[in-house]
Copies of this chain bind each other. A is one copy, B any other.
Amino acid sequence: MTADAKAVAMTASPPLTERQEARRRRILHASAQLASRGGFDAVQMREVAEAAGVALGTLYRYFPSKVHLLVATMQDQLQHMHTTLRKRPPAGEDPAARVAETLMRAFRALQREPHLADAMVRALTFADRSVSPEVDTVSRLTTAIILDAMGLEAPPTAEQLSAVRVIEHTWHSALITWLSGRASIAQVKIDIETVCRLITLTAPGAGPGSPDSA
C-alpha cells in the first residue's frame, strides 16, 4: 500500500507538505462524492472547492482543469480497484477467461456507482493533449490490471501486448456505450468475451501460421 501511495505521488514533481497532501485528498474525495451523485455535470468546480474547503483558485492550482481533476479521480479509484482485485485473483483456467472475469468484476464494481463511472470515463475520453500524461498513467494502470489477470509466467510477447491494447480499447468504448444507454450489460459482457479470444489467439505457440502446433 505504501508502494502504491508512492507511485501516485511520483507523478507530482515537488513533494507536497502534509497539509497540501490533505487538501489534495479532500479535493479528490469531494470530486468523487459529487460525481457519484450526478455524474460529469454534477462535478462543478465551485462546488468541489466549497466541499473540499478550499478556494477556487487553489483547486485550479492543484488540478488545472475539470478534466484533469476527474482523470486524477479515476487514477485514485483504479488504484483501489487494482488492490481489491488482487486480493481475489480470477479463477479461470486460461488467461482469456481470467481477463474476462476480471474485467466483468471491474464492470460490476462500476455499476454500483454508475454516475461516478460516467464522470470518470467521459473525462477520460474527452481529455485533450494537455491531459495526455495523466491519461497515460490511467492507461498503464489498466494495462497492469489486465496483465495481472492474465497471470503469465513469462514476460508478455509483443503480440500479447497488442492484444491487451485492443482489449483496453474495447473496454473503454464498451463502457461508453453502456453509460450512454446504447448497450446492455449483457452486450458488454459479450463484447469483452469476444475480444478476450485474442489472448488465446496470441498465446505463445499459437502463431498465425500454425494455430494447431500445441
Contacts and interface: CB of A to CB of B under 8 A. Distances in A.
B122 A182 contact: no
Interface string A125-152: 1111101100110010000000000000
B194 A163 contact: yes
Interface stretch (A13-21, A29-37, A165-173): A165-173
A163 B128 CA distance: 29
A212 B206 CA distance: 11
A129 B180 contact: yes
Contact of A126 (B125, B177, B212): B125
Contacts of A132: 180-182
Number of copies: 2
A40 B176 CA distance: 19
A194 B198 contact: yes
A162 B125 CA distance: 23
21 contacts: A40-B128, A122-B125, A126-B126, A132-B181, A135-B182, A136-B182, A159-B194, A162-B194, A163-B194, A166-B170, A166-B194, A166-B195, A169-B170, A169-B173, A169-B174, A169-B177, A169-B191, A169-B195, A170-B195, A194-B198, A211-B212
Interface of A: 40, 122, 125-129, 131-132, 135-136, 139, 159, 162-163, 165-166, 168-170, 172-174, 176-177, 180-182, 187, 190-191, 194-195, 197-198, 201, 208, 211-212
